[in-house]
Amino acid sequence: MRFFLEVLISGLLSGVMYSLVALGFVLIYKASGVFNFAQGAMVYLAALSVVGCMEKGAPLWLAIPLALGIMTLFGIATEKFVLRKLVNQPPIALFMATIGLAFFIEGLAPMVFGSDPRALDLGIVDEPIEAILNRWGMVISRFDLVAAGIAALLVTVLALFFQYTRIGRALRAVADDHQAALSIGIPLQHIWAIVWGVAGFVALVAGMLWGARNGVQFALTFTALKALPVLIIGGFTSVPGAIVGGLIIGASEKLAEIYLPPLMESAFGGNFGGIEGWFPYVLALLFLLIRPEGLFGEKHIDRV
């Protein structure tokens, strides 16, 4: 039971990290209807920018705003040179364009900042918290806890930002109906630039946390693949959905990783590790069978 709890908690903690990446998708999807496949590449770019600036001699406190600047500029450029030109295309074309964007970043970023994996030290150690270990005998990483705390804070701030600020309201109006938002005088392109900036910021936080944990390397782009099933479960448009979806995926993935392979091994023989690559997807698909619109998504009615 103690072991189960330990697995569950570490699963939930990494689930928060998934939520963080998923949030980047949700922000852009809500405001512009674009399913931004490049979100993972943006996480990679953000983390690389931080270590790249530090290698050029900038201290961490300076590297972070510099990286944020890079991400914002990049977001604005994407909006101006790619998305704006695709405004009247079907959503699926926009989606494919963001796959192109992902490749663009994955080629460009290592050319500018170098491609060898590097460590990023945020000053948080990745070791078990002793108090918990002594009291309950569970191994919970301090880093995971702090990272989850930061992620949770960010998610809360963004949710509040969306709900209560003027820009947040404008964002939601844009998401509901572009034409209507334009007609009441919301500057669309302005809003999109802000959204891409915010998404870049989310990518930066995710990139630094994931990068500090696993090293800054190409594999950071795969964080997007972790976030996609989260989106399916939570719905593409829901901030709370991204959070709950992340927790569900994180916890069930860790549990499945521990408990499923032994079952399969006793049934088929052999070694069945590495199920985390597909398990979230299959889970998300089964979930879709029951709720096609996601946990918090709205039911869609075809009007003809």
Partner 1 sequence: MSKTIGDVILDLQNISLRFGGVKALTDISFDVREHEIRAIIGPNGAGKSSMLNVINGVYHPQEGIIIFRGRERKKMEPHQAATQGIARTFQNIALFKGMTVLDNLMTGRITRMKTRFFEHALWWGRAQREELEHRKKVEEVIDFLEIQHIRKTPVSRLPYGLQKRVELGRALAAEPSMLLLDEPMAGMNVEEKQDMCRFILDVNDQLGTTIVLIEHDMGVVMDISDRVVVLDYGKKIGDGVPEEVKNNPEVIKAYLGASH
Partner 2 sequence: MFYREAGQFKSSYAADQQLFPIRQDRIGVLLLLAIAFLVVPFVAGEYWFSAILIPFLIFSLAALGLNLLTGYAGQLSLGSAAFMAVGAYAAYNFELRVDGLPILFSFALAGLTAAGVGILFGLPSLWIKGFYLAVATLAAQFFIVWCLTKFPWFSNHSSSGVISTQKVTLFGYAFTSPREKYLLVLTIVTVLALAAKNLVRSSTGRAWMAVRDMDVAASVIGIRLMPTKLLAFAVSSFYCGVAGALYAFCYLGSVEPDGFSLDLSFRVLFMIIIGGMGSILGSFLGAAFILLLPIFLDIALPWLAGALGLPFSNATVSHIQILLFGTLIMFFLIVEPHGLARLWQIAKEKLRLWPFPH
Q: Which residues bind partner 1 (CB under 8 A)?
A: 299, 301-302, 304
Please, are residues 251 and 8 in contact by the beta-carbon 8 Å criterion?
A: yes
C-alpha 27, offset from chain centre: 10
60 is an interface residue for partner 2 by CB under 8 A: no
DSSP string over 261-281: HHHHHHHH-S----GGGTHHH
* Residue 194, phi then psi, degrees to nearest 5: -60, -45
Residue 266 interacts with partner 2 (CB under 8 A): yes or no: no
C-alpha span between 54 and 33 (Å, rounded): 35
Which among 11-19, 58-66, 96-104, 175-183 is the span making contact with partner 2, rule CB under 8 A? 96-104
89 binds, among partner 2, partner 1, none (CB under 5 to 8 A by kind): partner 2
Per partner kind, with CB cut-offs from 5 to 8 A, the member of partner 2, partner 1, none near residue 301 is partner 1
Q: Does 93 bind partner 2 (CB under 8 A)?
A: yes
* Spatial separation of the C-alpha atoms in residues 135 and 1, rounded to whole Å: 15
Out of partner 1, partner 2, none, what residue 299 binds, judged by CB under 5 to 8 A for its kind, is partner 1
Tell me how far, at minimum, the Cβ of 35 lies from partner 2, in Å.
5
Angle between helix axes 239-268 and 279-290 (nearest 10 degrees) is 120
Helix, strand, coil tally for the chain in percent (to 5): 75, 0, 20
Nearer to partner 2, 1 or 92 (CB): 92
Nearest-approach distance from CB 16 to partner 2, in angstroms: 21
The amino acid occupying position 219 is: A
Partner residues linked to 216 by β-bridges: 118
Structural tokens at position 269: 């023989």
Q: How far is the CB of 301 from partner 1 (least distance, A)?
A: 6
Among 49-57, 67-75, 145-153, 221-229, which window interacts with partner 2 (CB under 8 A)?
221-229
What is the rounded CA–CA span in Å between residue 43 and residue 45? 5
Name which of partner 2, partner 1, none residue 108 binds, using a CB cut-off of 5 to 8 Å depending on partner kind.
Answer: partner 2
Q: Which does 233 bind (CB under 5 to 8 A by kind): partner 2, partner 1, none?
A: none
- Between helix 239-268 and helix 142-164 the angle, nearest 10°, is 140
Footprint of partner 2 on this chain (CB under 8 A)? 35, 82, 85-86, 89, 91-93, 95-97, 99-108, 110-111, 115, 225, 228-229, 231-232, 236, 268, 270-275, 277-278, 281-282, 284-285, 288-289, 292, 302, 304
